[in-house]
Amino acid sequence: MDIIKQLATELGIRPHQVEQTAALLDDGNTIPFIARYRKEATGELDETVIRDLSERLTYLRNLEDRKAEITRLIDAQEKLTPELSDSIVKATTLQELEDLYRPFRPKRRTRASIAKEKGLEPLALMLLEQGPEQPEELAQAFLTDEVATVEEALQGAQDILAEQITDDPANRALIRKFTFDTGLLMSEKANSEDEAQSAEFQMYFDYFEDVAKIPPHRILALNRGERLNALKVRVQVDIDKVYALLSKEIITNPASPATPYLVAAIEDGYARLLAPSLERDIRGALTEKAEEHAIQIFAKNLGDLLMQSPVRGKRVLGIDPAFRTGCKVVALSEFGDLLEYTTIYPHEPQRRWDQALEILSALVSKHDLALVTIGNGTASRETEQLVAELIKKYNPKLQYLVVNEAGASVYSASKLAKEEFPDLDVSIRGAVSIARRVQDPLAELVKIDPKSIGVGQYQHDVNQKALATTLEHVVESCVNHVGVELNTASSALLRHVSGLSAKVADNVVDYRATNGIFKRRSELKKVKGLGPKAFEQAAGFLRIADGSQPLDNTAVHPESYPLAVQILEQIGYKEKDLQNRETLAIIRERLKTLDAKEVAESLEAGEPTVRDIIGALSQPGRDPRDELPPPLFRADVLSMEDLRPGMVLQGTVQNVVDFGAFVDIGVKKAGLVHISELSDSYVRHPTDCVQVGDIVSVRILGVEPQLGRISLSMKSER
C-alpha cells in the first residue's frame, strides 16, 4: 500500500502535502507548531486535518507492520499462497486482515482440531466436493480405534467443515455485512436485584432498533444497562436468510448425498461459532463508533468551554455554597490573587442570614468587588437568593452568575492546589477555583482533569485512554491558539504549550521565581531542560507583554523576527513603535494597505507566513477570546415556580448532547432544548446549532417542578 497516496485520497489533499506533513511529524514537531508555523510546507493544512493525518498515518503504518507479521507467521506454516499473499497486501483494515489470518491463527483444541487429529480432514474435503458417493460409504475408510462408527466419522467431518466454513474470510465478511445491514439490536429486562437502578433503563425493557441506524447515545445507554445487569442485549437477524446465503456459497450440487451434511455443518457452524463471534464484532464496532462520537462531542464541548470569553478587570467574590459546614467565601483581585477569605452560615442549621449579608457587603466594599460567582452544587439555589438580596439591599451595581463547579473539588485536593495555597483548607481552594473560572476559564480549567469538568455524555463509559488523549489534544489546541503570558502562567498552563513537558513547565516557573520575570523570549534558552527543539516549538505561543523585545508580545515566531522588521520598515516603522498606542493605530492602518503576495515576493518569503506576520503585527497581545460575547450576568433570582409556558428568557448553553442542549436560565435546573426545538430548519446534530457558552434566547414550553424538568424551545413562535 502506498500510504502517502492513500492518505491524500482519504483527506482530499495533495500527496506532497501528506509527505511534507508526515516528515514534520516524524521529526518531532507538534501539531500546533506545524499548523501555525509551517504553512508553506503543509500547504496551509489546518490543525484538524493535520491531526486526522497523524492518526491515520499511525493506523496505516501499524496496518503495514501487521501485514508483514501475518505474512511471516503464515509463511512459517508453509501455507502462504500467492493468492493469500495478494489478499494480505490489498487489505485496507485491521478487521479484514485479521479475518484473513483467522484460519491460520493458533487455536485452543476445538471439536474440529480433535477431528483432524483423528485423521478425518480428508473425509471432510470429500464431502465438500459434493460428489455422487454416499457419505456413509466414504466414512467406512476412516474407521479406526479412535473412530469407532460411521456416525462418529461423519460428525467429526461435519465439525471440521463447520469451522472451515465459518473461518473463511469471504463468508465472515458476507454474513457480517448482512447482519449489520438487516439485524436488530434488541434488549429486555434482566433479573437485576437492584430494581431502583433497573428503573433508569425502563424504556429499554422491551426495545429493538435497526443495527445500522441506532444512534450512538443509545448504544452507550444499552451497554451501561447491560454492564449494570439491568438489561440483556443481543443482536437478532433472520437466521433462515443467513443459512440461505451461506448455502449459496457452499452448496454447488444440491442433489449430492453430501448436501444434508453440508447443511448441518452450515447451521451448526453459524449457531455455535459464527453468530457469537459476529455479534461480538458488530457490537464492538458499534461501541467503538459510539465512543468515538461521544468523545468528539465531549471534545467539542470542552473546547467551547475553554474558549469562553474571560471577564477582565473585575474583582470577584467567589462563593462555594454549603449548608451545615457553611459557604466558603473568597475575594480575588482582578488578576486572580486571593485578597481575603472567610466562611458564612446563612443556611440550615445555623441560619445566620443577616450576619452573612453584612459580611458579604463589607467584603464587597472593602475590596471594590464587582462580580459574584456562585458554585452550582449543594445550597446553590439558597445562596443565589442570598446574593440577590445582597444586591437589592446593599450593592445595586453588583452582578452575579452561577458557575458550574464540576471538578473544583478535584482541583482543591490536587498537588497543584496544595502548591498554590499550602495553608488553605481544601474548601477555600475550591471557592478560589470557582471565582477564577470566570476571570480566565482557560487558565483555571486546565488545572483539572478534563473528564471532571462535566460537559460530556457517558464520559465514564467510553475508552478512557482514547478520551484522555483526545481531551489533551483539545486543551493543547486551545492553549496554543490563545497564547500564554510567560510571566504569569501557572505550571499547569505552561505544560500544555507546544514543546513543553510538565517537568520543563515546572522549571520555567522555578526559573521565574529565582531570576525574576522574563524580559525576552530568548531567555527561555537558559531554563534547565529547555533545549533548541523545545524552544523552537514553544516560543511562538508564549507572550511577554512588557518585555524589551516588542515582537515577543505577538504571535510572530522568533525565527521570523528579521522578516517582521523588514515588513515594518516597508511602512516606515520599527518594532519599538508597536508599544505606543497612538502609533500602533497608524501601523494597523498602514499594514492594511500591504499586499501579502507582493510583500512575500519582494522579501523572498512564503506568502502564508507574511500574511500571518501582518496580522500579528496589527494586534500585539491579542487574545482571540476577547472577540466572543461575555458570560450572562444576573442581578435577580428566578425559581421554577416563576416560570410559565410562553415566557422568553436569556440563558447560557451548559452542555450539548446528541438529543439536544441543556440551557441554564437562572433556575436550579438547566432546561432542555430538544434537538427538534433548536431551530425552525432541520438540525442534523445539536453542535451544528449551538455550543457550550452560547447565550441564547429560549421560550418556555413546559415546566414539571416535581420532576425537575424544564422544556425549552429556540424556534420562532408560529
Q: What is the pLDDT of residues 380-419, one digit of tens each?
A: 989 999 999 999 999 999 999 998 888 888 899 988 899 8
Ranking 196-200, 275-279, 510-514, 545-549 by mean pLDDT, the lowest is 196-200
Q: What does DSSP assign to residue 551?
A: G
Pairwise CA distance, residues 418 & 294, whole Å: 33
CATH of 3-104, one of 1.10.10.650, 3.30.160.270, 3.30.465.10, 3.30.1060.10: 1.10.10.650
pLDDT tens-place string over residues 9-21: 999 999 999 999 9
Q: Could you tell me if 499 and 33 are in contact, meaning their C-beta atoms sit under 8 angstroms apart?
A: yes
Pairwise CA distance, residues 567 & 573, whole Å: 9
Q: What's residue 152's pLDDT?
A: 96
Per the prediction, the chain carries an average pLDDT of 94
Contacts from 271-279 at CB under 8 Å and sequence distance 24+? 272/162, 273/162, 273/163, 273/166, 274/166, 274/171, 274/172, 274/175, 277/166, 277/172, 278/172, 278/175, 278/176, 278/179, 278/235, 279/179, 279/234, 279/235
Residue 196 has pLDDT above 90, yes or no: no
Q: What's residue 409's pLDDT?
A: 86
Number of residues that this document lists for the chain? 718
Pairwise CA distance, residues 269 & 594, whole Å: 73
Q: Could you tell me if 331 and 367 are in contact, meaning their C-beta atoms sit under 8 angstroms apart?
A: yes
Angle between helices 464-482 and 275-306 (to 10 degrees): 20
In degrees, to the nearest 5, what angle opens at C-alpha 490 toward C-alphas 487 and 492? 145
pLDDT tens-place string over residues 430-461: 999 999 999 999 999 999 988 888 777 788 88
Helix or strand or coil: residue 456?
Answer: coil
Q: What's residue 628's pLDDT?
A: 82
Q: What's residue 471's pLDDT?
A: 92
Least Cα distance to 459 among 214, 224, 194 occurs for 224
Burial label for 163, CB within 10 Å (0-12, 13-18, 19+), is: buried
Q: What's residue 718's pLDDT?
A: 65
Residue 626 has pLDDT above 70, yes or no: yes
User: 327-332 and 338-344 as β-strands: parallel, antiparallel, unpaired?
Assistant: antiparallel
Task: Give the confidence band of 175 by pLDDT, cuts at 50, 70, 90.
Answer: very high
Ranking 274-288, 408-422, 627-641, 674-688 by mean pLDDT, the lowest is 627-641
Q: How far is CA 521 from the centre of its chain?
A: 32
Q: What's residue 199's pLDDT?
A: 84
Least Cα distance to 158 among 267, 253, 251 occurs for 267
Residues of the chain with pLDDT > 70: what percent? Answer: 100
Q: What's residue 174's pLDDT?
A: 97
Q: Could you tell me if 314 and 331 are in contact, meaning their C-beta atoms sit under 8 angstroms apart?
A: no
Residue 624 C-alpha cell reads as 482571540
Q: What's residue 552's pLDDT?
A: 97
| Gyration radius of the chain's alpha carbons | 33
Task: Give the confidence band of 516 by pLDDT, cuts at 50, 70, 90.
Answer: very high
SS3 content of the chain, % helix, strand, coil (to 5): 55, 10, 35
CATH class for the region spanning 640-713? mainly beta
Pairwise CA distance, residues 182 & 16, whole Å: 42
Task: Give the confidence band of 605 by pLDDT, cuts at 50, 70, 90.
Answer: very high
Pairwise CA distance, residues 329 & 635, whole Å: 19
Tally Cβ neighbours within 10 Å of residue 574.
Answer: 11
Q: What's residue 386's pLDDT?
A: 95
Q: What is the mean pLDDT of residues 132-140?
A: 96
Angle between helices 150-167 and 121-129 (to 10 degrees): 70
Least Cα distance to 127 among 172, 159, 103 occurs for 159
CATH class for the region spanning 316-472? alpha beta
User: Which strand (E) or helix (H) includes residue 310?
Assistant: none
Pairwise CA distance, residues 308 & 438, whole Å: 9
Least Cα distance to 326 among 352, 303, 301 occurs for 352
Residue 306 has pLDDT above 90, yes or no: yes
Residue 332 C-alpha cell reads as 480575588
pLDDT tens-place string over residues 87-126: 999 999 999 999 999 999 988 899 999 999 999 999 999 9
Q: Is the dihedral of CA 499, 505, 510, 512 positive or negative?
A: positive
Ranking 190-194, 349-353, 495-499 by mean pLDDT, the lowest is 190-194
Q: What's residue 706's pLDDT?
A: 82
pLDDT tens-place string over residues 334-374: 999 999 999 999 999 999 999 999 999 999 999 999 999 99
Give how far Cα 185 sits from Cα of 214, 299, 439, 462, 660, Å: 8, 28, 47, 19, 24
Residue 521 C-alpha cell reads as 523570549
Pairwise CA distance, residues 29 & 47, whole Å: 13
Q: What's residue 139's pLDDT?
A: 96
Residue 643 has pLDDT above 70, yes or no: yes
Tally Cβ neighbours within 10 Å of residue 331.
Answer: 23
pLDDT tens-place string over residues 207-248: 999 999 999 999 999 999 999 999 999 999 999 999 999 999
Task: Give the confidence band of 192 by pLDDT, cuts at 50, 70, 90.
Answer: confident
pLDDT tens-place string over residues 651-678: 999 999 999 999 988 887 889 999 999 9
Give the domain ranges of the chain.
3-104, 129-134+141-295, 316-472, 502-627, 640-713
User: Which strand (E) or helix (H) includes residue 664?
Assistant: strand 660-664
Pairwise CA distance, residues 379 & 385, whole Å: 10
Pairwise CA distance, residues 88 & 100, whole Å: 7
Residues of the chain with pLDDT > 90: what percent? Answer: 85
Ranking 250-259, 576-585, 608-617, 636-645 by mean pLDDT, the lowest is 636-645
CATH of 502-627, one of 1.10.10.60, 1.10.150.310, 3.40.50.1860, 2.40.160.10: 1.10.150.310
Q: What's residue 454's pLDDT?
A: 76
Q: Could you tell me if 228 and 211 are in contact, meaning their C-beta atoms sit under 8 angstroms apart?
A: no
Least Cα distance to 245 among 158, 186, 181 occurs for 181
Ranking 89-98, 157-166, 301-310, 446-455 by mean pLDDT, the lowest is 446-455
Q: Is the dihedral of CA 690, 455, 370, 389 positive or negative?
A: positive
The CATH-assigned architecture of domain 129-134+141-295 is Orthogonal Bundle (1.10)
Residue 595 has pLDDT above 70, yes or no: yes
Q: What's residue 453's pLDDT?
A: 84
Q: What's residue 339's pLDDT?
A: 97
Q: What's residue 457's pLDDT?
A: 77
Q: What's residue 184's pLDDT?
A: 97
Q: Helices then strands (H, E): number in the chain?
A: 31, 15
Contacts from 8-15 at CB under 8 Å and sequence distance 24+? 10/56, 11/49, 11/52, 11/53, 11/56, 13/43, 13/45, 13/49, 14/43
Backbone dihedral region for residue 443 (phi beyond 0: left; psi -120 to 50: alpha; all else: beta): alpha
